[in-house]
Every structure is written in C-alpha cells, then in structure tokens.
A and B are shown apart, each in its own frame.
Chain A
Amino acid sequence: MSTISTYLSDIRERAKKARDKKAALGPDVDLARYDQHVERGKIESLEGLPQQAREAAVMSGIDVKEEMRSGSYLQVDHSVVYERLNKLHEGKLEIMSTTEALQKYDWLEDYYWRAVPVDQDKYTAQAELKMTHGYFIRVLPHQKPEYPVQACLLVAENHVSQNVHNIIIVEEGAELQVITGCTLSKKDAEGIHLGISEFYVKKGGKLFFTMIHNWADNFHVRPRTWAVIEEDGAFVSNYVLLKPVKSIQAFPVAYLKGDRASAKFNTVVYGLKDSYIDLGSRIILEGQDTRGESIARTIAADESVIYARGDLVAKTKGYCLAHLDCRGIVFSNRGKIFAIPQLISEGALKAELSHEASIGPISEEQVEYLMSRGVSREDAVSVITSGFLNLDIPYLPEVIDRNIKEVIQATAKESM
C-alpha cells in the first residue's frame, strides 16, 4: 500500500504544480467560475430518470431500456447514480466508478495516470485534484460481451466542473464495445466537462469505443484521452458532435505499442452557432507492422470554427502503414474550417504514411444527379450531406441518425 500511496502522492504533487498550466491548444477557460458541487441520489432504473435528463441521455446514444446493452453506468454532476451489469456477464465484465475501483484494486496504479500525463495542463491537473468519479470498465481475458456497455456522463446543474477519470481495460483476447454519451439536461447550463480517459487494450484484444457529445451554447469541454494498444490489439474510436458547444479541445492519442496493433479514428463533427471546436487524433505507430487510419468529416455551419487535426507519428523499426482522410464542408460564409494533417516519421525507414485533406462544397453535379430522379434540391442536399457524414457507426440508436437529418435540414439551406 505504501508504494501505491507514494505513486498517488507523487501524481498529486505533479498535478498541483500544473494547476495553472495553460493548454497548448484551445481557448483558456477560467476554472474558478465552475465551483458548484452537486451530489445526487441513486436511481433504480434509467427509465426512472427525470424527463429532461432522460431525453438528454437518449440524445447522446443511451438506451434507457437497456435491451441491447451489456451494462450501464450513469453519472449525474458529481455522483454515480446508476450502475448495472447484465447478469449474463457477471464474473466476465466489471463496471464501477473509478473511485471505487481505486479502493478495490491496488494494481490499478499500474493504469491510473499511466497513459495521460497528469501535468499535461490545468485541466488534467484539476481532474486529479478535484476528481469526481468517472467509470471503470474491465472485460476479463477472452470474454466478448455481445452488446455494448453504455456510460452516460450527464451535467444537470449550472457552474459545475465535472472532472471524471475513465479507465477501460480490455484484457488479453477480449473484445468490448462501449458507447459513451456526454450530455447536458439544461440547454442553457454554463460549465465545463473534464474527461480523462485511459484505455488499455491487451494482447489480441479489441475495443470499439463510441463517444457522442451533446453539449450546449455555454459549455466548455476538455477531454484528454490515450489508448495504449498491445500486440495484435485493435482500437476503434468513433466520435460524434452534432450540437453547439462553447468550446471543445481534444487531441486523443492511440499509442500502438505492440506489433501488429491497429487503431482507427472516425470523427463526425457538425459545427453550429458560434461553437469553437478543436479536435484531432494522433496515432503513434511504435510496434512493427502496425496500422492506423483516421477519418474526419466536418461541417461548419453558422459562425462555428472547426480545427480538424490529425497526426500520424511513425516510430517503428519495422513496417507500418497509416492514412489520414480529412474532409470538410463550409455551410456558411461565417463558418471556418482549418484542416491540419501532419505526417511525422522519426527514423521509421519503412513507414508508409499518407493523407488526403479537402475542404469544398457539396458538388452541384451530385445534387442535380439526385434531382434527376425526382428528389427536390433541398432533399438532395440533405441526402448527400448525410452520406458525407455517414461513417457506418454500429449500435448508434436511430435517434442519432434522426438528429443528424434534422440538423442537416435546419442548416443546409444556407449552403445552397
């Protein structure tokens, strides 16, 4: 225990030193504004959530009936209000808060803040110094739950800083799908969500991770994510943002540590109102014969500003192959997109890295083609835009698909 304590106290000291350290990217947020602490009571079922919160959860991909879910975790503001594991998976899958897991498992220090640097910036520092839970999900070796685990991180109150630390461990040969919905139940809520996510995919394991962000006009978001993938492991990350946000800045990393490991990022971003969105993905290819792919589709409507970043970093002594595909459409003459792909080879002689980045309007030729089949101009633009954003993300509830269509219909007219 003393070793753990030493490690944790060292982590804490590093966090204290970084508490005022500005992030390298994104506007600086004054964290002192968000000082409310809100505790909530437990609920019996997700369907028992108050209507507003339930709707917000559904809109961020949560199945409140839990029919096709292996387990659920719900946190509202600073409290874990619901945890449930499908009985079929008892002894095979674990779901609890990270706080509880840290108390339960001494060995968790081997994972806690081992991937994301605690002193990266003031946001990581605050997540340590004022940690308010987060989820811990672990799938035991060679277990492959049929349905996804769902986690919802919901903010229901004003001036809250939700500081969660999530850890997912996919043990050797296991497979797991996780859907995380991060959302607000009050559309005018002002606050910040700091989400630390550390994912560990062991040898031959597979993690399919989908995150749906559903924020609002006055809310800041600073996720900090690292995934460490061992040999023959695979990590797929899907990210969807279809609602306005005051500002979001994230640059998740997939670290392909083991040979033949692979990572894929799919990012769908629809910038609305005056959202400031700075999102990217970084794949570090260290093992031999590693593979990486990063696909981003961005649309800037209204006065939104979107930075779409992508880094491929080859460090392997052997072969690796990775590709970035970043495309954007600007729907409004007040919207901005910055597409910033970057390929880096650090002495990786056999690395094959490539990218294609483009920003351009919907092709008039495509619109007219669809019109020639009797589709109206408005519907043609909507169908093509939906197709542009369609990355075939599995297990996304129909409501998300509907939401995409509604957003497109409300904003695409301006581009025509």
Chain B
Amino acid sequence: MPTLKNTVARLSFKWTPGRITLAIVAAVLVAGLLPFVKMSLIVNGVFLGAIIALGAIGLTLIYGVLNFANIAHGDYMTMGAYVALFLLTGAFPAFGIEGEGLGPLTFGYPLLIALPLAAAVVAAGAVLLDVAIYRRLRQRGVNAVVIAMASLGVAIALRGLVQVIWSGETQHYPREFRQVFRLPLDVRIPPDSVFIAVVAVVLVVGVYLVLTRTKMGKAMRATADNPNLALVSGIDTQRVIRWNWIIGAGLAATAGVLLAVFQAQLLPIMGWRFLIPLFAAVILGGIGNPYGALVGAFVIGVTSEVSTQWINPSYKPAVAFAIMIVVLLMRPRGIFGDSG
C-alpha cells in the first residue's frame, strides 16, 4: 500500500541546506504577514489554486510528452466553459433538462452533466487539432518553438470562434442567488467553491492514480522521460500522445467550466487571461512535473489572491509572474525541478 512516506519519497524531495533556508524564510514571511492578511483571501486563493492546478497539470503533461508549450491551453479552458454554456442554455432546455439550484449551490443538476460532456467535446477537439496540425509539424521534424507558435495561432483562432458563435458579451450560466457559508475569522465561502474544490481533488487524485497505476499512465511518464527508449520498448507513442491530449484538454475544459462558475461569468478572453498563472504554476513546479505543477498552482493561487489586499486586483497576473521570476532566480529548474 502506498504510505505517506512512499509518496514523499517518490517526489524525492531532499532537505538540502539551501531548501531549509528557503523554507524558513518562506515560513517567517508567511507567519509575519498572516496577522495582516484577510483569511478570506487565503481561502479564496486555495480555490483559485485548485482551478489553476487542473489547467497546469494538463499543460505540464503535454509539455512532458510533446515537448512544446501549448499556448492554446487557456483557450481550451474557454472552449470548455462555452461548450457547457451551449449545453446549459441551448441544448438541455430543448430536451427539458433544467433544474433549480442544487441545495446551497447556484446551479442545478444540468451542470453536473454538462461538465463531463464539455470535457469530452474539448478532449475530442484537441485530439483532432493534434492530427490536423501538430502531428504534421512533428512529422516534418520542426522546432518546438514553431509548434508553440502554431498553438498561438490555434489560441487566437479558438478565441475568434468563441466570439463569432457566442459574441464578446459577458455571459453566465443559469444561476440562482444563494447565501454564502459564513465561517469564523470573517471567512465567507460560496458553496460553489466547495463544489469546485471537490471536483479538483477528485480529478487530481484520479490523474495521480492514472499516472502511477495504469499501463497507459506509466507509458505517458515513460515517454515524457525518454521518448527514444519508449519507442524501442515498443510503446505505442501515437496512443500515448492521444491520451495525453485527452487528459490534458479534458482537465483544461473542466477548469474552464469551474472558472466560469467561480467568477460567475464567461468572457471569450477568460482562458487567455489565465495563461500566465498556468505557466507560472508549471514553471514554478519544474516543467513536465505534474506534482510540481500542483504545488505551483496553490502557491500562485494563494499569493496572487492575497496580493489584492494591497495591490489592485488587475495586477494579479503580474504578481504570478513576479513570484515565478523570484523562484527561478533561486532555483532555475523550479521547486521540484531536479526530481523526475
């Protein structure tokens, strides 16, 4: 059975003097600032971190196997959010699938159906885009930067598509007014955020189990680790790439829907704006390392949310970027960069 000790060993995190110093400095800073920080911002940051984590894990997996930065990842999130919007406001009501807010939640049971469907649609779209664009480029042996630029093109095209179909106006899922949970220390938690956290935890655990327990998951890690050896071991790398897109884009679409619930609105630019926190989380955790991306996501989520106590909220991406730069100056390969 996997014990906590095993899991820690798998992350192969060693307490070197440098890391101990870093941890002490971080702990002192956090402890020193804590009395001045609104608890509610920290809690909000954790929920935001959960959404960032879903996007960042997919982004880092795709980087690991395909070795390019998928700039369209944020727009896969947008796509997921809008596909769910179409289902909730267009398709489902036509079949009489409508529901009032579930208990304390602002949305009804249709969202629970729309979420996996939107993830499946975006995952299928990502596989098709790979066949149509990225695979051709790989077969020609082009540079990873060229492939990343192609994904920038895909990002802009997807955003344009969303604007053409759904207009550039702010939209939102069918929602009802609900009371927030009031906790001590003036913490207010919207019930929707609890839902977001539950979905994120389930998916992160699911991805962990897939990566460590299933043959395809292990093959994905093996291909990311050493693509040539994967080939001569007989691993079907085309299938690995396909599953990689399905998991990565599916997680992104889910993150998009959750973000639309979290922010209570949809905008064509929502995913694109999320790209900087995503990349910051990925780089912070060590590119290609899904566990690192998870930790990076919470660091980015909490710090950028807490920063709004002193800084204008529109600078959140700048805060994410600043954290990333500071960490990279100290540890150029990210927090978990030198482990696998």
A and B from one complex: no
**B interface residues with partner A (beta carbon < 8 Å):** none
